[in-house]
């Protein structure tokens, strides 16, 4: 049961009528119950509408007594008077005046929040702008770091590295840092450098191959490098082969071919000149030698043919002594006979010029038969010559 109904019943029970001041469009309604604090805060944030009535306290209350002798206090009611047509602008102005104090309060709450957001955004931008990713190579062990240091010396101090005692630092400690820089700390590193076929050993403190070549004065534009220019030079050093461009002239088949090349061998330079070596073709210099600047290389076209010839093998003469024959006499005991053999020759031509044949193989077809001759060794008899083949007669 509402408070309004209870009040009216109590008044009728006691025979008394509550008087209400009636005005134009006046109504009597019960007052609102008290609002808890947490709901009051919530309601304060809601937008308010323009009221259509003005709250006016009646100033009168009604009491009622029950059959039990208890006195009941009638609730306070509020008279809501609806403004007439001419009072609406004034009601609106009053509503605006009541809303006005809320705006500074909202602004006071929003300004600190906006300041915090602006501070955080500015701090984040400064943080990102000052952060730098650099590579620190200490004794050939590179690692990537994020730092706010302004120069190389400050970075080394952050990492606890003392560049004293003659330790090489590249770039110098006072150099300003930028994102992507490479800082090398350590002594000189050995590099075995082969430059255009000439090998030597050098020492460098530069962090990369490209920086080392610039320090050594090596012209690397257009040159062949066995290691990338951006490759780091570790603590143990490295082996580097550099071949600069050279002009080489190749003479082949009556024509001249001039090329710019970084070839490692004469054979490779000839191939880059568009000349093909076939079979036994070779060059006037060793094909595996290093081509020099301004060198002229001749290509030798070599062709080899094979031929087989039948040749005689002359017989030999064998002489034996015979004591039954007087000295100075010979007797053919066996006639000789020539043999034969088959010989294979290699005939070589160089640029069309025939060279001396070269024996490749020999096969004996018929063995020769040697001639056997007996030569007399007996002393001659004085007085007459003895006929050959007859023994000398005895003297009387």
Helix (H) or strand (E) holding 77: strand 77-81
How far is Cα of residue 95 from the mean position of the Cα atoms in its chain? 73
Dihedral of the CA atoms 65, 66, 71, 74 (nearest 10)?
-70
**Residue whose pair of structure tokens reads 């509020």 in the numeric block:** 78
**Residue 36 binned pLDDT confidence (cut-offs 50, 70, 90):** low
What is the average pLDDT score of the chain?
A: 75
State the CATH architecture for 189-243: Roll (3.10)
> Can you give the pLDDT at residue 166?
53
> Can you give the pLDDT at residue 94?
58
Q: Is the pLDDT of residue 312 over 70?
A: yes
**Residue 382 binned pLDDT confidence (cut-offs 50, 70, 90):** low
Ramachandran area for residue 215 (φ above 0: left; ψ -120 to 50: alpha; else beta): alpha
182-185 and 132-138 beta bridge pairing: parallel
Helix (H) or strand (E) holding 146: strand 141-147
> Can you give the pLDDT at residue 349?
93
> Can you give the pLDDT at residue 97?
55
Model-level pTM greater than 0.75?
no
Q: Which two tokens stand for residue 293?
A: 């600047």
**Residue 380 binned pLDDT confidence (cut-offs 50, 70, 90):** confident
Q: Is the pLDDT of residue 72 over 90?
A: no
Domain coordinates of the chain in residue numbers? 132-185, 189-243, 246-300, 304-315+338-367
d(CA 395, CA 105): 180
Question: Does residue 140 or residue 181 have the better pLDDT?
Answer: 181
> Can you give the pLDDT at residue 129?
52
Q: Which of 58-67, 205-214, 289-298, 346-355 has the lowest mean pLDDT?
A: 58-67
Measured distance between the N- and C-terminal CA atoms of the chain, rounded to whole angstroms: 205
> Can you give the pLDDT at residue 73?
47
Strand 371-378: give its sheet, edge to edge.
317-326, 371-378, 330-334
> Can you give the pLDDT at residue 395?
39
Question: Does residue 115 or residue 323 have the better pLDDT?
Answer: 323
CB < 8 Å & 24+ apart, contacts of 347-350: 347/304, 347/305, 347/306, 347/307, 348/302, 348/303, 348/304, 349/302, 349/303, 349/304, 349/305, 350/300, 350/301, 350/302
Q: What is the mean pLDDT of residues 214-241?
A: 88
d(CA 306, CA 322): 50
d(CA 125, CA 337): 114
> Can you give the pLDDT at residue 18?
41
Q: What is the mean pLDDT of residues 251-267?
A: 93
Q: Residue 89: helix, strand or coil by DSSP?
A: helix
The answer to whether the beta carbons of residues 195 and 242 sit under 8 Å apart is: yes
* DSSP 8-state class, residue 85: G
**What's the CATH code, domain 132-185?**
3.10.20.30
- Topology of the domain covering 246-300: Ubiquitin-like (UB roll) (3.10.20)
> Can you give the pLDDT at residue 26?
43
Give residue-wise pLDDT tens across range 91-146. 556 555 555 455 556 656 666 666 666 556 555 444 455 788 999 887 767 889 89
């Amino acid at each position: 049961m509402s408070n309004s109904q209870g009040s009216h019943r109590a008044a009728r029970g006691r025979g008394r009528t509550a008087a209400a001041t009636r005005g134009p469009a006046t109504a009597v309604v019960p007052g609102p119950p008290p609002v808890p604090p947490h709901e009051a805060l919530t309601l304060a944030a809601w937008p308010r509408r323009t009221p259509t009535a003005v709250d006016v306290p009646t100033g009168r209350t009604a009491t009622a007594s029950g059959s039990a002798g208890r006195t009941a206090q009638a609730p306070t009611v509020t008279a809501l008077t609806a403004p007439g047509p001419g009072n609406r602008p004034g009601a609106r102005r009053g509503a605006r005046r009541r809303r006005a104090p809320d705006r500074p309060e909202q602004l006071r709450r929003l300004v600190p929040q906006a300041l915090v957001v602006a501070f955080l955004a500015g701090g984040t931008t400064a943080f990102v702008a000052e952060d730098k990713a650099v590579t620190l190579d200490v004794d050939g062990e590179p690692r990537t770091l994020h730092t706010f240091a302004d120069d190389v010396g400050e970075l080394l101090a952050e990492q606890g590295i003392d560049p004293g005692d003659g330790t090489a630092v590249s770039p110098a400690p006072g150099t300003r840092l930028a994102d992507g820089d490479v800082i090398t700390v350590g002594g000189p590193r050995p590099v075995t450098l082969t430059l255009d076929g000439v090998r030597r050993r050098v020492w460098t403190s530069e962090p990369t191959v490209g920086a080392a070549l610039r320090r050594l004065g090596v012209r690397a534009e257009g040159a062949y490098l066995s290691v990338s220019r951006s490759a780091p030079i570790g603590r143990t050093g490295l082996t580097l082969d550099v071949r600069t461009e050279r002009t080489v002239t190749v003479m082949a088949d009556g024509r001249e071919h001039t090329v710019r090349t970084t070839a490692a061998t004469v054979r490779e330079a000839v191939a880059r000149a568009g000349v093909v070596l076939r079979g036994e073709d070779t060059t006037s210099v060793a094909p595996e030698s290093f081509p020099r600047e301004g060198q002229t290389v001749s290509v030798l076209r070599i062709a080899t043919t094979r031929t087989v010839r039948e040749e005689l093998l002359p017989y030999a003469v064998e002489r034996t002594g015979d004591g039954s024959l007087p000295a100075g006499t010979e007797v053919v005991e066996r006639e000789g006979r020539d043999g034969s053999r088959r010989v294979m020759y290699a005939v070589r031509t160089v640029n069309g010029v025939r060279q001396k044949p070269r024996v490749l193989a020999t096969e004996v077809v018929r063995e020769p038969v040697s001639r056997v001759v007996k030569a007399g060794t007996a002393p001659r008899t004085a007085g007459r010559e003895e006929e050959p083949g007859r023994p000398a007669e005895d003297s009387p």
